[in-house]
Amino acid sequence: GRILLTGASGFIAAHCLAAFLEKGHFVRFTVRSQLKADQILDAKENEKYRGQLEAVIVPDIAADDAYKDALDDTLDGVIHTASPFHMNFTDPQELLGPAMRGTDGLLKAIANLAPNVKRVVITSSFAAMIDPSKGNWPGHTYAEEDWNPVTMEQALTGDKITTYRASKTFAEREAWNFVRQEKTPKVEFDLVTLCPPMVYGPIVNAQTLSSLNTSNERMWKFLNGEVKQIEPMSNPLWVDVRDLAAAHLAAYEIPAAGGNRFFIVADEFYSNQDIADAFRKARSPFSQWRPTAD
């Protein structure tokens, strides 16, 4: 098929891009600058896929008409991964705006500009499912009905994690509301959302250690000494980024996936201590350690 992938410079999106290209799909991707577009277009691993790749620059997904050059009637699917996942903000709107308007605006733009899109897959998060007041919630089995009960007031006044989780919760909720309410002839697509917990794995796009995405940055802080004390885990769930990419591909390709919200997790727990132990076991001298592709 022919898909639009948003936020292709991201940690998770890089693996989604590889999975879709390898399967033979055509991928038009969005990034925020020509530099980032060129890095992907010129990457060695993408050499054999040149004819399947097209870049569109979308500097800010929260802007009005952000997606006007990205969508048209040649596309049959959209994979939306772009959303801010970082804690470098002062105003909560810096997260809430791109997460919410970036998603809602995209769905409206698809309805208006891309009539042949049949499936939209959104990278949501376990952040949109978790109820932080329940802790690890022994005995509870998470299901589609689990929604983070965070309110807008908490999003605006709470700590940064609360704001981030709220941004994912509100964005996903609005997406479901959109496909439910706008069931007019205009909305021809259905929706799949994927809710992964912490995502780890090989890094494809990061150019420097200071530009690591948030989940990998946490690991790096164990190694570089910024985290002096291994904190107890708030939750022990994770998933490998390659499995999550495969889940994005399946969510697009499998017709029966439509209308579902999937919790995507590894079938094992982890702890911060496991990460520290793995680093110790690797025994690579700190000064020579570099993030590599594998």
What tokens does 115 get?
């009539």
Give the H/E segment covering residue 261: strand 261-263
Residue where the block lists tokens 């530099």: 35
Residue nearest to ligand NDP (CB): 10
Query: Quick one: 40 or 75, whose CB is closer to ligand NDP?
Result: 40
Return d(Cα 160, Cα 88) in angstroms, integer. Answer: 9
Return d(Cα 287, Cα 74) in angstroms, integer. Answer: 49
Return d(Cα 104, Cα 62) in angstroms, integer. Answer: 9
Q: From the CB of 135, what's the least distance to ligand NDP, in Å?
A: 19
Query: Quick one: 117 or 264, whose CB is closer to ligand NDP?
Result: 264
Query: Quick one: 25 or 193, whose CB is closer to ligand NDP?
Result: 193
Q: Are 81 and 30 in contact (CB under 8 A)?
A: no
Q: From the CB of 186, what's the least distance to ligand NDP, in Å?
A: 25
Query: Quick one: 56 or 115, whose CB is closer to ligand NDP?
Result: 56
Which of helix, strand or coil describes residue 192?
Answer: strand
Q: From the CB of 11, what's the least distance to ligand NDP, in Å?
A: 4
Q: From the CB of 268, what's the least distance to ligand NDP, in Å?
A: 16
Spatial CA neighbour of 164 closest among 194, 135, 128:
128
Spatial CA neighbour of 264 closest among 283, 285, 238:
238
Q: From the CB of 10, what's the least distance to ligand NDP, in Å?
A: 3
Query: Quick one: 82 or 257, whose CB is closer to ligand NDP?
Result: 82
User: Which residues contact ligand NDP by CB under 6 A?
Assistant: 7, 9-13, 32, 36, 58, 60-62, 81-85, 98, 123, 125, 168, 196, 198-199, 213, 215
